[in-house]
Amino acid sequence: MKTHLWLLFLKMTLKILLGDLMKTIKKDKIAKLLDFLADKYELFAPTSKDGLVVSFERIKEGKQAKLRFYNSNEAPKKLFFPQSETLFSYSKGGRETVPEPKTEQQRIIFGLKPCDTKSLSLSDKVFDTTDFKDPYHTQKRGNTIIFTLACNRPQSSCFCTALGLGPFLKEGADVFVVDLDDKYLFEPITQRGEDLLKEIPGLEEAAEKDISYAKELAGGVEDKITTKIQLDSLKEKLDKIFDESVWDEIHQKCLGCGVCTYLCPTCHCFEIVDEQVNDKGKRIRIWDSCMYPAFTLEASGHNPKPTGKERMHQRIMHKFNYFVENYDEIACVGCGRCLRNCPACMDITKVIEQINNLK
């Protein structure tokens, strides 16, 4: 009798240690799983209208999700920090202000890549501060459960590993999902991820071979990332080179179009404007870019960053120096959106190499 109980206890402990909480679902059933989630939550998943350009949108049906993709064209930051967001509205000759109603609805984002998931943690450092918590961003973050999808096929423009991240990074996920060819493996990372998995019908226990296959995929994928850059001493280097003529060279090709900042998952600069029609109006927050000349233009006409050179300097410094100084992390996740979309074919990895090579 005692032996029997002991064996049971051992079995349970082993099950937990061996990832008994992990579940799997066959690929042909994923649409139904997503249907289930879409019924109970606001579900966001990668979709594609033309079969190519992927974008994270709200879906009502699981079949709308496109789960085999490199990455979305636009960064999913728009789900937490939309291009235009009303801060409050006002009426009655501008005297009464009415704060925007808070979003109560629970949301799920399914299929976020590890780089984008990490970018959310980075943006938290800006928006979720003790002194001045940003209610719009933090509320959405609190209401959203994230299913991070591991990246089995990094693109040639990806370089997350150079930043100490990786295609199988679980940081920031509530549930970590791995594509095992014929099925998906779900690993709960947080308590609410685990609780949610318990709600979902039709999940199977993960088999040993599933778990080990996932490990195998994780082991082999980092080699697929071919862009390698050194970031160890970059901050120190950047500290010293404000006046160097290298900045003249670096900014020359740049058009100042701002596409890099708009597509970047960690860029968070914004502008606040009032828009009014007759007696009703609202104060809204809209994306802005440090690459625009008017970004720092003062009413007196003075502009502390008058040319593209200062603005390019600002962008690189902010991501690889200032953010590091303030938060001990680089504000870049290596997603490659900036270099894929730059109309002048600028490449931030080449800029970093150029800086690293300075004596």
CA–CA dist 284, 134 (Å, integer):
14
CA 207 to chain centre: 30
The DSSP bridge partners found for residue 55 are: 47
Six-digit token pair at 302?
A: 């003075």
According to DSSP, residue 161 is labeled G
By CB under 8 A, the residues from 65 to 104 that bind another protein are: 69-70, 73-74, 83-84, 87-88, 90, 94-95, 97, 99
CA–CA dist 290, 329 (Å, integer):
20
* Least distance in angstroms from the C-beta of 64 to another protein: 17
Specify the stretch interacting with another protein by CB under 8 A; choose among 50-58, 159-167, 199-207, 208-216.
50-58
- Give the helix/strand (H/E) hosting 11: helix 2-17
Residue whose structure tokens are 């870019």: 289
**Is 202 an interacting residue with respect to another protein (CB under 8 A)?**
no
Give the pairing type, strands 280-287 and 144-149. Answer: unpaired
CA–CA dist 97, 283 (Å, integer):
10
Six-digit token pair at 31?
A: 């649409």
Count of residues in contact with another protein, rule CB under 8 A? 80
**Is 236 an interacting residue with respect to another protein (CB under 8 A)?**
no
By CB under 8 A, the residues from 125 to 164 that bind another protein are: 126-127, 129, 131-135, 138-139, 153, 155-156
Helix (H) and strand (E) counts in the chain: 13, 12
By CB under 8 A, the residues from 273 to 292 that bind another protein are: 273-276, 281, 283-290, 292
Specify the stretch interacting with another protein by CB under 8 A; choose among 39-47, 56-64, 121-129, 170-178.
121-129
Six-digit token pair at 105?
A: 């609805």
* Least distance in angstroms from the C-beta of 334 to another protein: 15
* Least distance in angstroms from the C-beta of 49 to another protein: 9
* Least distance in angstroms from the C-beta of 246 to another protein: 14
Specify the stretch interacting with another protein by CB under 8 A; choose among 13-21, 26-34, 105-113, 300-308.
300-308
Looking at the Cβ atoms of 39 and 104, the one nearer to another protein is: 104
